[in-house]
């Protein structure tokens, strides 16, 4: 079988069969397909599309291109969640211990920041000593004993996807729904899951900018996951503003600690999306009869301190401080300069250019301009006020945390430029925009 004949078939709009797809995936791993051939097939799929059966075959082949985790003799269901990425999205940090406290087992393999979106692994590395790269035996043991562990992506899980994505990234073929679907699900299936909750972010701070694209992606993921044997539900959730009150690596760990401990009120939108995704996971794992019952269990896990205790145990077991939840100020680095973003006039916050605010975090040093860049864990925004808030002139929209005065001053100007003030009151937008599956 020749690579160029497989490329030709897809170029001409034909559906690829299992043998052709397996040949391509083997070629990704053993380098028998050249970079040009990989790029050509990626572009052919981008332009011609893929049927659901093809996408299932590609997903399974990429899943089987490396190690596939097995979880024999587990006393509860193996569950996970995946987000398409947003600004201030620290849901995974709360979700894994909450589901574990309710009887689920969550082997979460998370990613680093990509573009304007923050990464769960980067946030965890703001905790001194926390190892995101334990060996497989330790990861297995932690999931079994604690119910959850959050680590970074490993090279031996779906290695075909890693090479294919790197090529797509530099050939303008990332935005292909079947290829996004296969990329996400191949890694999740390789983790040995029994249920998956998908969080498809939608809005001006998300990869899926429109509800139409978000729904297309959600329906593709649910259908292909089902075809590959993984029960999946997808929620389309609002990303037209920052999620939660804090953005930036150490600051988001601070917010996670406050959330799990119940120190002060939980930000309404963050609490809603966290509960909604956790509830879907409990229902998928037959740990609750419906989402209403699941929410009762989850709230009890928060109120009793059981979820906070799971998070503390996970942090300690992976090398972080055992008393992080009691003494976060002792361990989480703080920026030397903190400045308010004053409202230029009285009014109501009408909108945020959320992506611009994510890019601003990168400019402050809290994200990467290129792979391998060091991250300043201290920088970001706190006390972020949501859309719909009414301000007096001079009242802070947020606080900027920066490495020096000049960076803080620039960030204040940029933050204001990303916000629109007006006079009309706004009704709150629903956090969960749609459900699929």
- The set of catalytic residues is 80-83, 120, 168, 183, 187-188
240, 352 in Cβ contact below 8 A?
Answer: yes
350, 387 in Cβ contact below 8 A?
Answer: yes
Eight-class DSSP state of 365: I
151, 139 in Cβ contact below 8 A?
Answer: yes
Q: CA nearest 126: which of 256, 261, 241, 308? A: 256
Structure tokens at 197: 């909750």
**How many alpha carbons lie under 13 Å from residue 358 in its C-beta half-sphere?**
24
Residue the block writes with tokens 């864990």: 377
Q: CA nearest 362: which of 378, 348, 380, 347? A: 380
d(CA 81, CA 106): 9
d(CA 271, CA 90): 11
Structure tokens at 371: 């792979």
Residue the block writes with tokens 């994200």: 367
Positive or negative, the CA dihedral 226, 231, 237, 239 is negative
Structure tokens at 159: 């290695």
399, 381 in Cβ contact below 8 A?
Answer: yes
């Amino acid at each position: 079988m020749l690579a160029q004949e497989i490329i030709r078939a897809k170029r001409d709009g034909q559906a690829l069969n299992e043998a052709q797809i397996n040949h391509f995936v083997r070629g990704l791993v053993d380098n028998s397909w050249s970079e040009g051939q990989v790029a050509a097939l990626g572009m052919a799929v981008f332009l011609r599309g893929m049927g659901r059966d093809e996408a299932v075959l590609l997903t399974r082949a990429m899943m089987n291109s490396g190690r596939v985790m097995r979880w024999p003799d587990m006393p509860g269901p193996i569950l996970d969640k995946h987000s398409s990425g947003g600004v201030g999205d620290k849901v995974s940090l709360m979700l894994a211990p909450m589901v574990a406290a309710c009887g689920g087992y969550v082997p979460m393999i998370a990613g680093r920041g990509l573009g304007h979106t923050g990464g769960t692994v980067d946030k965890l590395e703001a905790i001194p000593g926390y190892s995101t790269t334990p060996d497989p035996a330790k990861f297995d043991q932690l999931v079994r004993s604690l119910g959850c562990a959050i680590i970074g992506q490993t090279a031996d899980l779906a290695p075909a996807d890693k090479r294919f994505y790197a090529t797509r990234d530099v050939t303008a073929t990332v935005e292909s729904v079947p290829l996004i679907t296969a990329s996400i699900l191949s890694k999740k299936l390789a983790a040995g899951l029994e249920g998956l909750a998908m969080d498809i972010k939608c809005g001006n701070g998300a990869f899926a900018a429109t509800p139409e694209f978000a729904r297309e992606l959600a329906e593709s993921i649910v259908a292909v996951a089902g075809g590959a044997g993984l029960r999946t539900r997808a929620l389309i959730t609002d990303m037209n503003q920052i999620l939660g009150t804090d953005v930036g690596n150490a600051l988001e760990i601070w917010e996670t600690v406050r959330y799990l401990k119940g120190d002060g009120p939980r930000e309404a939108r963050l609490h809603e999306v966290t509960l909604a995704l956790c509830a879907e996971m409990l229902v998928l794992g037959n740990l609750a009869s419906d989402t209403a019952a699941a929410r009762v269990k989850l709230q009890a896990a928060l109120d009793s301190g059981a979820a906070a205790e799971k998070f503390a145990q996970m942090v300690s077991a992976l090398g972080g401080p055992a008393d992080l939840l009691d003494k976060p100020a002792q361990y989480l680095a703080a920026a030397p300069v903190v400045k308010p973003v004053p409202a230029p006039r009285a009014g109501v916050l009408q909108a945020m250019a959320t992506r611009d605010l994510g890019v601003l975090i990168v400019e402050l040093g809290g994200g990467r301009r290129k792979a391998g860049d060091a991250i300043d864990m201290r920088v970001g925004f706190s006390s972020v006020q949501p859309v719909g808030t009414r301000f007096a002139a001079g009242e802070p929209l947020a606080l900027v945390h920066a490495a020096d005065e000049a960076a803080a001053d620039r960030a204040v100007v940029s933050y204001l430029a990303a916000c629109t003030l007006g006079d009309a009151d706004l009704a709150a937008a629903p956090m969960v925009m749609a459900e699929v599956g």
